Structure 1
Amino acid sequence: MATNRSRRLRKKLCVDEFQELGFELTFNYKEGLDLEAVSAFFERFIDEAVEGNGLGFIGSEDYGFVCLGKRGSVTAEQRDLVEAWLKKGHAELAGSTVSPLIDVWYPENSVNA
């Protein structure tokens, strides 16, 4: 594909100055945790950490992707807020991982400065 694109096309393709960033999450739950406890934790996570920071989540209770709830990019501060919420010591979690910011539409591309 051509690299000399019009501003309109760059916006439509979400590239260059219109790149949108998000991050991946994985959750590791404690052994023997029942489904109700996992669901309650996940609901709290969505309400407090995701929607409470103006973000959106796509995925499941084990793995997912966080992006902005509207067009645009997740900021490093928003990512850090979600990571801090996960590290508060929730009894249901054995651990979690939060990836660095990555391109939402083209994960193989590097993040623009």
Structure 2
Amino acid sequence: MATNRSRRLRKKLCVDEFQELGFELNVEFKQDLSEQAIDAFLDDFLADAIDANGLDYVGGEDFGMVCLGERGSVSEEQRSAVEAWLKGRDELSKVEVSPLVDAWYPGNAINASA
């Protein structure tokens, strides 16, 4: 694909100055946790960690991607807030939060302008 793209196309493709950042997360629940406790945790997670920080979550109950709820990038402060919230929960035995990555093309490097 050509690298000399118009501004409109760069915006449509979410590349270069329009790159959007998010982060991946991977959690493991304690083995003795009931389905009701997992459901309650997920409800709390979506309300207190995701919605409260203006974010969206795409994924399952143990792995997913967190992006901004509107066009744009997740900030390092938002990523840290979600990580702290997850690490403060007793239901989890493991929490892994990735650094910020390109939300549309995870293999791409992060631009300095993003």
Q: Same fold (TM over 0.5)?
A: yes
Q: CA shift at 1:27, angstroms? A: 1.1
Secondary structure in 2 matching 1:86? helix
Question: Corresponding residue for 1:80?
Answer: 80
Return 5+ residue gaps in structure 1 as ranges.
none
Question: Where has structure 1 moved over 3 Å in runs of 4 or more?
Answer: none
Q: What is the rounded CA distance, in whole Å, between the counterparts of 2:90 and 2:15 in structure 1?
A: 40
Q: What is the rounded CA distance, in whole Å, between the counterparts of 1:14 and 1:76 in structure 2?
A: 19
1:34-45 map, 5 Å: 34-45=34-45
Aligned residues: 112
Q: What is the rounded CA distance, in whole Å, between the counterparts of 1:47 and 1:85 in structure 2?
A: 12
Q: What is the rounded CA distance, in whole Å, between the counterparts of 2:68 and 2:37 in structure 1?
A: 27
CA RMSD of aligned residues (A): 0.7
Question: Corresponding residue for 1:106?
Answer: 105
Q: What is the rounded CA distance, in whole Å, between the counterparts of 1:86 and 1:69 in structure 2?
A: 19
1:18-97 map, 5 Å: 18-88=18-88, 90-97=89-96
Q: CA shift at 1:85, angstroms? A: 0.8
- Give the letter for the 1:47 counterpart: A
Q: What is the rounded CA distance, in whole Å, between the counterparts of 2:37 and 2:73 in structure 1?
A: 31
TM superposition score normalised by structure 1: 0.96
Q: CA shift at 1:32, angstroms? A: 1.6
Q: What is the rounded CA distance, in whole Å, between the counterparts of 1:108 and 1:26 in structure 2?
A: 18
Q: What is the rounded CA distance, in whole Å, between the counterparts of 2:111 and 2:46 in structure 1?
A: 28
